[in-house]
A and B are shown apart, each in its own frame.
Chain A
């Protein structure tokens, strides 16, 4: 998604031949400038026509959208040389979009979030150039390195990215009101024509960017006026912003705002919690407005966390992550008016975690197909970026069991993740959070005993202890079950790390696993 925001697409030049992409020096018929490898300082002659610009546009509508932008007043830092055009276009976002066009190899780079290839900014830059309104110059910084990579690839005959990058995620109205459904047997609804879809998406993206700007301004106000401001105790302070974020297609952030409202006054340390969350929201708002300049996986992670959504079909079209997956834990949590069920799966061979979500509105059913303590051999299709979230694709039949196995397979018994110390579990959590510090919860396995430190419950061993989220705040008897099952001794566990402590999800006994995760209110969902 972020990758598609920072569009970097190659195509077929109306002038340059394919040989240029393979490093052979070519001579442009009009300018007489040798352009294949390296830059030549010379006055750049325009080699394209308006018709050729229109020919590379993805649709007539894209040209129509580009024409108003083909005015020098909208641009800063314009420049062109014999290979590349560049400039910054002032759009609706807080930051201008940095655009570059390889007019020889025909490639486009833009920090805008549009999926159109080329986007209207790249087309506008080409139109400006055709109108001879782009001054000559020497590329620097990002443009220089970008065109250098392209030239380098051509020189070394490396395959140039010619396939379109994955589509950007489709923003949704809100995570809460219209949650994605992980059931893979339901096809995506019919899609509108490309033009209409692109136009609608562009409008949604514009709204999202405006929403992120407003969010950051709101956070700034909170920091200026202070957390002791009585306005924080008023629900309207939060709800109004959440509603505007829903309108801005940033449903995930709206949910975070609503959850943050619940933190105010909820504990003696609520100022810590709220300030931390404000910091993370600031991080997301800033990153979300610069998606195009972020590395691809990070941009994907940010976009997902902001609330952009990827179509199931696109996810399922990705390369599967095939493994034997242990269903290590489950937790249910009411988010707004939706019950969210998280199944945490861990790859036996890869050791990687995955998250399978299901959702239920009032009197709907949650997914019961994944049972804690079981193992499935399946293709998981991960969402873009480093995200844990995945869809379950094809489930493979279990392999034939050997009648007389010669040796016991290494590793933990089937249906349970490996055991590890508290310190090792912290390391694993840290590795996941360093990738995405805004994650609310991450899974981890640990072998630990319940204990008490002051008025808090903990899980610990000789290497240290982890605080447990107040059992009274979790639905069900999960912690009491853990106490009873352990009798105070160390047990193998799957837990969810959260900023407020860990939530025990499953106890893995020698012969079976016991699902002790927070469970949805049966009166709310049909099958909890």
Chain B
């Protein structure tokens, strides 16, 4: 667009601030002036509106790029492969439906030598801005891009002043947080999938387990031996359809399946 049109536009904005009752609109002249010369009415506001409309149309149709901009300095390289799109999709499912699994998702990602796919990095950093241990894990999973992103987008930085991890927190870094599980069920943490599934399924069918036990059962399935998760899901899927525990069985089955697939997707590259 020509500088003349830009100048005319600035004059129009100035006149529009005061209003045509108090300030005569600028004389457009040039091609814009020709364009609005046949405006139906000749009063000041009509002429100004016609000029504004023509000027906007010309400026829009003549959209031009601004000056070239210096490119950003890239982040430090990260040789780790990005986790797969399936793993990214699983993270979204986990954080939406089974947040109890997220710690394990991030830890496994780091331990197995993946880096978090770039499209997931902002969401992961934004999600963990308060808990120091989880933030540290997220930064490790994202890699050097984490600091680079925070440099450019401060809203992804931690809430409050950054501080180093305490010794206790440092020890927690590589371990999953403990989840409350009653002593009578703790033996199932090391049991086979069939055993875990069997106990839970029978309990749901005969009414020993019900909705009030959901949190405990979720914790159990989030920490039981991963190798048996497929079996657990199969056994839970076979819970009697007439049983009142069937809905909870289906829900827990989804948890077991989600965890199994999550760990499969994050197995070593």
Contacts and interface: CB of A to CB of B under 8 A. Distances in A.
Contacts of B152: 452, 483
A488 B72 contact: yes
B16 interface: yes
B19 interface: yes
A460 B56 contact: no
Nearest to A471: B153
B91 to A, nearest CB: 13
Contact of B16 (A226, A423, A451): A226
A203 interface: no
A153 to B, nearest CB: 30
Contacts of B13: 271-272, 275
B68 interface: yes
B30 interface: no
A90 B194 CA distance: 86
Interface in A469-506: 471-472, 477, 480-481, 483-485, 487-489, 497, 499
B94 to A, nearest CB: 15
Contact of B122 (A219, A282, A472, A481): A481
A466 B152 CA distance: 18
A89 interface: no
Contacts of B156: 480
A449 interface: yes
Contacts of A472: 155
Contacts of B155: 472
Interface in A265-301: 271-272, 275-276, 278-280, 282-283, 286
Contact of A466 (B9, B60, B65, B126): B65
A453 B67 CA distance: 9
Contact of A480 (B46, B49, B74, B149): B149
A220 interface: yes
Contacts of B123: 477
B75 A224 contact: no
Given A453-B66, A483-B149, A434 B61 contact: yes
B119 A485 contact: yes
A227 interface: yes
Contacts of A471: 153
Contacts of B72: 449-452, 488
**Chain A interface size, under 10 / 10 to 19 / 20 to 34 / 35 or more:** 35 or more
Interface stretch (A31-39, A248-256, A425-433): A425-433
Interface in B63-78: 63-75
Given A224-B19, A462-B68, A484 B48 contact: no
A485 B74 CA distance: 11
A485 B54 CA distance: 40
Contact of B21 (A224, A276, A437, A481): A224
B20 A223 contact: yes
A112 to B, nearest CB: 19
Task: Tell me the dominant secondary structure on chain B's binding face.
Answer: helix
Contact of B55 (A279, A477, A483): A279
B45 interface: yes
A279 B56 contact: yes
B18 interface: yes
A466 B66 CA distance: 6
A258 to B, nearest CB: 19
A220 B46 contact: yes
Given A437-B61, A449-B71, A465-B67, A278 B49 contact: yes
A436 B132 CA distance: 52
A434 B145 CA distance: 41
B207 interface: no
A458 B71 CA distance: 10
Contacts of B46: 220
A484 B60 contact: no
Contacts of B71: 449, 451, 460, 488-489
A499 B60 contact: yes
B180 interface: no
B52 interface: yes
Closest 5 CB pairs of A and B: A464-B65, A226-B19, A488-B72, A480-B122, A451-B69
25 contacts: A223-B19, A223-B20, A225-B21, A275-B13, A275-B52, A276-B56, A286-B53, A430-B60, A430-B62, A433-B60, A434-B61, A450-B72, A451-B70, A452-B152, A453-B66, A460-B68, A463-B68, A464-B65, A480-B126, A480-B156, A483-B153, A484-B121, A484-B122, A487-B75, A487-B145
Interface of B: 9, 12-13, 16-22, 44-46, 48-50, 52-57, 59-75, 85, 118-119, 121-123, 126, 145, 148-149, 152-153, 155-156
Interface of A: 219-220, 223-229, 271-272, 275-276, 278-280, 282-283, 286, 422-423, 426, 429-430, 433-434, 437, 449-453, 458, 460-467, 471-472, 477, 480-481, 483-485, 487-489, 497, 499, 507, 512, 514, 516
Given A279-B57, A430-B62, A451-B72, 14 more contacts: A223-B20, A226-B17, A226-B21, A228-B18, A282-B49, A460-B66, A460-B68, A466-B65, A477-B126, A484-B118, A484-B121, A485-B118, A488-B71, A497-B63
